[in-house]
A and B are shown apart, each in its own frame.
Chain A
Amino acid sequence: MRDSETGTSLNHVNLPNRRARTLKFAALATAGLFVAGCATNAPQDTTDPAGTNAQQIYDLSWPIFAIAGLVGVIVFGVLAFVIVRDRDRGQPIPEQTHGKPKLEIALTILPALILIGVAIPTVGVIMDLDDTSDTECVVNVTGQQWWWEFDYPVQDGCGGITEPIVTSGQMVIPADTNVLIRGTSRDVIHSFWIPRLNGKRDMVPGRVHNLRMQANEPGIYAGQCAEFCGLSHANMRMEVVALDDGDFETWKANQLEDYESPTSEAALRGETSFVTNCSRCHQIDGITDADGVPIVSRPDQQVYSGAAPNLTNLMTRNTFAGASWDLINQDYRDEVWEASPEEFGDLYLAGVTDDVFNEVDLREWLRNSPTKKPMYTDPLELEATDGLVRGMPYLALSEDQIDDLLAYLLERK
């Protein structure tokens, strides 16, 4: 110990300064590296909040990251100092001391104090994020393998909804409005997560869980099912689309418009084909059979989870099949995603038009969906579910039928 003490005193002259500089540099370098090492414009970036809830979480988190980083730098600084100073240079065997209890107790209390400092704001934010009293709009969210359904109950909120609206893949909400998600699941546990708007919340079958959603500005916010939900978990995505109030009204009105019969020959054939091949599971509101009786889909007799996406206004959404593929081409997609808040509404409400339609993916999907997205649809595999499929089965459609269906579906908006 004598020797090491002189060692300390020798270093004493220049160490504190040097150490402080090293520490400062290390802290800056770490922070710099992290920022430089990150993606820009990542659509699911948790460090780029776009709504009050995510902002609240972020404001709570980053100081904790900073504290943790600082503690790390201190620990590693001390460790590095010890490693350099005390390496074996032939010094005698040090004192066989078993510790200094006072120092020990002090060093136990110190981290405890830091953690108490962290705990108090944490509890505050937990309570704030659970508050539902300021809700201005309610959306029911139902997860199933492997897509999300959104339905808007009849309410005074959301600017008034008189008839329920059902959609899937993209949840459209008014911007700068406190939306409350009332979520559940039809089969296994899923988790609803829009990183830039709020943390995730599991959607558990048999339970109804709430989650706050608010987006400051119009725009599109990406999300992903975050709880492992089986085979195609990776292909269960969703997007939240925020529109300003006027655009939201337009969107609602469009969703509730009456059914428009197909206009072209191909689309008319497509309608027939849809009724034959698709309407067992997929609902299109307003479609009738030859006698004028509304056709009601019965997914509960075909699909294990009991539901299939409602396709009434398919082409008002930009995605399909669990938001895994786009209905618009890549260029237009980039345009929509990068649009300024002012321009966004018009671009989104334009929907999928002929010139931006991404025919390739939808055609492949209709040709043989299970090869595009892994699903349990092989009749041989369905013993455990009494023959009910999980996902969309292979339909053996001819290329002509697919052409007709595409023409028909392109008019669904």
Chain B
Amino acid sequence: MFTTGSKFLIGASVMALIATLVYGIGQGGVLGTVGLTSATVALIGLATLNALLRDSNVFSDDEAPVETSSAAQFSPPSSVWPLGFAFGSVVIAVGLISYQPIVVIGLVALVVTGGEWAVQAWAERASGNVEHNAAVRSRLSNPLEYPVGGAVAIGIIVFSFSRVMLWLSKTNTTIAFSVLAAVVLAIGFAIAYRPKMGAGAVGGVMAVGAVAVVAAGAITGLDGERDIPEFETTSIWQEEAILHPTEYAEGAEEGKHPAGLICESPEEFPEADERASETVASKSGSYQVFLTEDETLAFDVPGPIEEGPAGMVIPRSNPTNVIFRNESDEHRRLSIDFGTETLEVEGEDTEVRHQICTTLIEPGGAQLLTVEADLPTFSADGIVNPNGPGGEEGDGFWLFVPGVDTATLELIVP
């Protein structure tokens, strides 16, 4: 049969051929195609030569005939490493040509299979006894194979699992895992009641389970995550607009986004409103602010408080989670105006309005806004806040909804 070396070369040739075809047809780059074709031809040549020479294993001056050399005592057992090695080499080649990060995968495959191959090749010559040689190989490789293999396997399963969980909706997660738990329990019972059940059957069930998890992980991973309530990042873009007003204005002229500040605009800002992505769990006892159907702002804080308060009070210097619920019929955002602050804008000290806001929320939607006010309300005493009620009255901090004049609510920070 084929010797180990020729198996590697044959494997490499096949992979090179496949790579050539895939690349040649798929990408059509001339230089790459030529290079791959040359490699394929060279590999096929080497493989043929090697197969004829039997890995150059039998020296011309070897006194013992081929039949008695230890390597020739038995035909070498099958080996997957040459295939893996070849695969690694080709992946590196493909990676170099197309997408660099793939090279890492190829390198890992190369190192792993190369190492394993070296150990196996060495073990096959340890003695003339196949079983002993296998034992020798295990002793040398298992201390690394088991921990690394175990870690990789657990990593894959955990990752697949997390993909599935992120894909399922919250309710479905509960259902799915109740069912899963029941299935696991049932299998446990089955094994307990039939202790003589063959190891093959149990192993088969385990294997099917593992494959199912990985497959489900792959599918759901490709399908993407479920919609998770989003955490505002609009204030970053707001800041961007304030700090670089010139660029921002240019962007507006080019039609990239509307003119003006995000937190004061009822329109959609593609950069800000589409790229909000940080997520956060909404925790117990959040403050809630509603844009009601008749377009006024109402709020609900933990613990009932009688009607009539003038504004919502939050503690100073403490991040407070406020959920904005849009109950109107339009897309709306909730903004907060904290009065003026002095910023260095394009090299000059400029007074700007300190504002934060949510992204544009669809009717019926909700979003969390984390509000931290480091200054008390009275620091804005006497300074008119244009976003106050009616646009021109009142000082202090105000919650408002751009585009809805009636929706204002004072934010009081003691």
Contact = CB atoms under 8 A, between A and B. Distances in A.
- Interface range on chain A: under 10, 10 to 19, 20 to 34, or 35 or more? 35 or more
A283 B379 CA distance: 11
A207 B284 contact: yes
Given A132-B304, A133-B304, A184-B318, A210 B285 contact: yes
B303 interface: yes
Interface in B305-319: 305-311, 313, 315-319
Interface of chain A, helix or strand or loop or mixed? loop
Given A154-B311, A180-B303, A294-B379, A307 B316 contact: yes
A285 interface: yes
A300 B313 contact: no
B412 A164 contact: yes
Contact of B374 (A142, A166, A294, A306): A306
A43 to B, nearest CB: 27
A209 B318 contact: no
Contacts of B313: 140, 151, 153-154, 164
A53 to B, nearest CB: 15
Given A184-B315, A294-B378, A299-B317, A135 B412 contact: no
B315 A156 contact: no
Interface string B364-381: 000000000011101101
A296 to B, nearest CB: 4
Interface string A147-178: 00101011111000010111000000000000
Contact of B302 (A164, A210, A305): A210
Nearest to B285: A208
Interface string A251-272: 0000000000000000000000
Contacts of A153: 301, 305, 309, 313, 412
A20 to B, nearest CB: 51
Contacts of B305: 135, 138, 153, 155-157
Nearest to B318: A186
A362 to B, nearest CB: 25
B286 interface: yes
Interface in B299-348: 301-311, 313, 315-321
A20 B317 CA distance: 64
Contacts of B302: 182, 208, 210
Contacts of A209: 284-285
Contact of B381 (A165, A283, A294): A294
A208 B378 CA distance: 25
Contacts of A182: 285, 301-303
A206 interface: yes
A298 B374 contact: yes
Contacts of A299: 317
A35 B283 CA distance: 44
B414 interface: yes
A153 B316 CA distance: 12
Contacts of B374: 298, 300, 306
A135 B318 contact: no
Tell which of B303, B317, B318, B378 has the most Cβ of chain A within 10 Å: B303
Interface string A194-213: 00000000000011111000
B318 A155 contact: no
B315 A285 contact: no
A151 B376 CA distance: 12
Contacts of B414: 151, 164-166
A283 B376 contact: yes
Interface in B373-392: 374-376, 378-379, 381
A1 to B, nearest CB: 40
Contacts of A296: 375-376, 378-379
A362 B367 CA distance: 47
Contact of A306 (B306, B310, B317, B381): B317
Nearest to A295: B379
A166 B285 CA distance: 21
A305 B319 CA distance: 11
B410 to A, nearest CB: 9
Nearest to B280: A206
Contacts of B284: 207-209
Contacts of B310: 154, 162
B409 to A, nearest CB: 12
Interface string B277-295: 0000001111100000000
Nearest to A211: B303
Interface string A296-322: 101110000111000000000000000
B315 A157 contact: no
Interface string B395-414: 00000000000000000101
A206 B301 CA distance: 14
A138 B313 CA distance: 11
A285 B378 contact: yes
Contacts of A157: 305-306
Contact of A135 (B303, B311, B375): B303
5 contacts: A138-B305, A153-B309, A206-B283, A207-B285, A294-B378
Given A138-B305, A153-B301, A296-B379, 12 more contacts: A142-B318, A151-B315, A153-B305, A153-B412, A154-B313, A155-B309, A182-B285, A208-B286, A208-B302, A296-B376, A296-B378, A307-B316
